[in-house]
Structure 1
Amino acid sequence: MLDSDNMFLQNTDELFQCGHFCAVFINPCIFHTGLFVLKPSMDVFKNMLHELAVGRENPDGADQGFLASYFPDLLDQPMFHPPANGTKLDGNYRLPLGYQMDASYYYLKLRWSIPCGPNSVVTFPSAPWMKPWYSSEIPMALFQALLYIGVIAVNRLARPSLSKLCYNRRMEKSTMFLLTTLRVVAAWSILAAYTIPFFLVPRTVHPLLGWPLYLLGSFSLSLIVINFFLLHPLAVLTTWFGIIGTLFVMACPWYMNGVVRALAVFAYAFFCAPVVWASLVKIMSSLQVLIERDAFRLGEPNQTAEFTKLY
């Protein structure tokens, strides 16, 4: 049994020579289930199911408490020393501490060395977002978050100016060509607003930080599209709300298995598709109304030129 928050410093094939059960003794939990050796056995499996059925004492209600109560005499077992000839041992053994070194002691207290067996495995028993492969990207994630917040603030302050840029223009080309161009540019802008933040999220950041960062980024870029094209906010942000709903559907803990979860996500996407399509239609119609508004003065004669001719 091996958790993903263990970092191997050297080869540990000798663990396959261990007996029926081997683990590192750690107070006060007897041993940590992040790393232990258990020989596959149908008898042990059936006995574990029986112990669960009769209600064996479980201090924490999880696998840690159950396994610690199932193998309570680990401290009394002999220390594991792998035979040089590769022979596989029988029985239960206690692994040296070097097979499960706590990162805080290994790096800080014991200066990268534990004098108990081979320094083979470093474990990181901490909150998920504090793992080094997650926390190393936190500064970049915070920088992106501040950047997105700045974009939102600038959009809020600069909206009147952007509106003036969209109005009071004189277009000499045909209205149909302008409408088609605006539709294409708006569609690609919305697509970019939802895809660019996804690729900018640090790859090793924890999902609990990555998804909020993506949602913040897509929201800020969507505001730019809304303000520049003077679109209805709800129409552009419909996809944004749909993504949030998808995350909640996926994270729901009451599914029986992965198939039910996948079917739930598919059903959610099926019912959301018409809403997203309706929002896209509304965006396209808003652009058409924007073109036809008097503020664009499309097709109006040049009043100054007319007065000049009359004069």
Structure 2
Amino acid sequence: MRVSLLGLVILVSCVGAAAARVHRNAYATMMYMGTPRDYEFYVATRVMLRSLRHLEVDADLVVIASLDVPSRWVQALQEEDGAKVVSVENIKNPYSEQSQFDWRFKLTLNKLYAWKLVQYDRVVMLDADNLFLHNTDELFQCGSFCAVFINPCIFHTGLFVLQPSMAVFNDMMHELDVGRSNPDGADQGFITSYFPDLLNSPLFLSPLNGTKLDGTYRLPLGYQMDASYYYLKLRWNVPCGPNSVITFPGASWLKPWYWWSWPVLPLGIDWHSKRLQTIGYGAEMPIVLLQVVFYLGIMAVARLARPNLSKLCYHREEKSVFLIHNGFKLVAIWSILAAYLVPILFIPYTIHPVIGWTLYFLGAISLCIVAVNAFLLPMLPVLMPWFGILGALIVMAYPWYSDGVVRALSVFGYAFCSSPFLYVAFKRIVSSLQVLPEREGFLPRLGESAFPSGLSKLC
């Protein structure tokens, strides 16, 4: 009995020691507020952290968060994602007044706080738009500063390795005060200016004995594979170093977490597969279900109550008749246009692309039905853009293109061939709007047995 009790105590002690293990390295990212896309980057950060945890990295996960990050977000990062949150004050950006400054980068200098994480030997600093394919713990063997040149002459600060140092951090703050040159006013321009000789540094190859290197190194391109390289060949072919991390430094509204990014950008589905494996879509699904019910209700009501707006259009003066007639056509055209644009505004931006596009097509067709019934338009011409968009997505999503050039040419060819159908559909809609008042104008108003004397019908 005594032996069994002793064994239980030893087992509990070992488990507790493993749980309390102190990591000497960290993966870190930053989070700040003040942009319309704060929530999207919060979701992206959580997916990246969970992906790293899923890869069983031997390091802490750290989020450098500004003081105004909502407490519920901080709590989720700590309790659900297992991250250590370091709260910081925003670093004032001294470059915000320079010409061509992009306000989106006003607070990106908070990334410099990574050098204050002196409790760690090495820190891999990350942007939220990184997609990890493999465990990259070998990066902790790199030197005092290491980064990838995705541009032939300029390294990228979406991922870099650093050795924390208060001396370096204080010197960086001093350089901000004295106005060190910074071409873009963001972290990218400042850090590349602070380490101007990295291009001449040797290429990092992780030592087999696990020792940490000193000095600065260029990281192999495989640690920051620009997604645009993939779109050219529709496959990865990076010969130098492992293919480990994909980054998306392109257009801000084509980040991989937006539902419209796929199949426009094929790699968007890979990011969403990571989200599906990690935090899921529980936050967005109630909104999706509510919209589905709303759109189905619109279609039912529009079908049951077909309004006839032409019966309401009577006037004495020919000039006014002309204005009303053209206004009537303008409202109809704008209604059709709104049917294709309005659904985009209400779909949760970070929902899975398959769900997002399905919800878009459902919303567009429901609002098109409203326009068809309100203005007595032919159904097929109004829905021609609907079929055109669906066809474009199918062409883009086709998985067997030989390379990105063939894919782009296919999309262009499809657009060229479908444009005559869209033109004919537009002409049919305009013709229908032209004859609608002539077809319906002789009908009396609802509840009237004949036209009032002196009024002429709309033509």
TM-score of the superposition, structure 1-length normalised? 0.58
* CA–CA separation in structure 1 for the residues paired with 2:421 and 2:272: 44
Determine whether 1:146 maps to 2:263: no
* CA–CA separation in structure 2 for the residues paired with 1:133 and 1:261: 31
Determine whether 1:6 maps to 2:48: yes
Q: Is the 8 A contact 2:122 2:164 kept in 1?
A: no
Moved over 6 A (4+): 124-127
Determine whether 1:244 maps to 2:390: yes
Determine whether 1:166 maps to 2:310: yes
Q: 1:131 to 1:166 in 2, by over 3 A?
A: farther
Instruction: Say how many residue pairs are matched.
Output: 210
Q: Is the 8 A contact 1:219 1:240 kept in 2?
A: yes
* CA–CA separation in structure 2 for the residues paired with 1:258 and 1:223: 37
* CA–CA separation in structure 2 for the residues paired with 1:158 and 1:246: 33
Q: 1:173 to 1:212 in 2, by over 3 A?
A: farther
* CA–CA separation in structure 2 for the residues paired with 1:156 and 1:166: 18
TM-score of the superposition, structure 2-length normalised? 0.40
Q: Larger RCO: Structure 1 or Structure 2 (Cα < 8 Å, ≥ 6 residues apart)?
A: 1
- Tell me the residue number matched to 2:219: none
CA RMSD of aligned residues (A): 3.7
- Tell me the residue number matched to 2:194: none
Please tell me the residue identity of whatever aligns with 1:260: V
* CA–CA separation in structure 1 for the residues paired with 2:164 and 2:313: 85
Determine whether 1:36 maps to 2:183: no
- Tell me the residue number matched to 2:360: 214
Determine whether 1:91 maps to 2:195: no
Please tell me the residue identity of whatever aligns with 1:261: R
User: Deviations 1:165-206 (Å, cap 9, x if unpaired)?
Assistant: 433653334343333112211111111110111121111111
Q: Is the 8 A contact 1:198 1:214 kept in 2?
A: yes
Match of 1:225 among 357, 365, 371: 371
Where structure 2 has 5 or more consecutive residues not aligned to the other structure, the ranges are 1-26, 28-43, 53-60, 63-113, 115-119, 125-131, 140-162, 166-204, 211-270, 445-449, 455-459
Aligned-partner SS, 1:293: helix
Please tell me the residue identity of whatever aligns with 2:122: E
* CA–CA separation in structure 1 for the residues paired with 2:279 and 2:365: 29
Q: Is the 8 A contact 1:166 1:228 kept in 2?
A: no
Match of 1:187 among 299, 312, 333: 333
Q: 1:286 to 1:129 in 2, by over 3 A?
A: farther
* % identical aligned pairs: 39
Q: Is the 8 A contact 1:168 1:296 kept in 2?
A: no
* CA–CA separation in structure 2 for the residues paired with 1:192 and 1:125: 29
* CA–CA separation in structure 1 for the residues paired with 2:438 and 2:274: 56
Determine whether 1:284 maps to 2:430: yes
Aligned-partner SS, 1:132: coil
* CA–CA separation in structure 1 for the residues paired with 2:398 and 2:206: 44
* CA–CA separation in structure 2 for the residues paired with 1:190 and 1:202: 22
Please tell me the residue identity of whatever aligns with 1:201: I
Which structure is larger by alpha-carbon Rg, 1 or 2? 1
Structure number having the greater helix percentage: 1
Please tell me the residue identity of whatever aligns with 2:337: L
Q: 1:181 to 1:260 in 2, by over 3 A?
A: same
Q: Give 1:144 deviation, angstroms.
A: 1.1
Please tell me the residue identity of whatever aligns with 2:372: I
- Tell me the residue number matched to 1:253: 399
Aligned-partner SS, 1:6: helix
Q: Is the 8 A contact 2:336 2:371 kept in 1?
A: yes
Q: Which stretch of the first structure deviates more once superposed, 272-281 or 176-185?
A: 176-185
Q: 1:259 to 1:133 in 2, by over 3 A?
A: farther
User: Deviations 1:88-141 (Å, cap 9, x if unpaired)?
Assistant: 962176xxxxxxxxxxxxxxxxxxxxxxxxxxxxxx997754643644212111
Q: 1:244 to 1:152 in 2, by over 3 A?
A: same
Aligned-partner SS, 1:255: coil
Aligned-partner SS, 1:253: coil
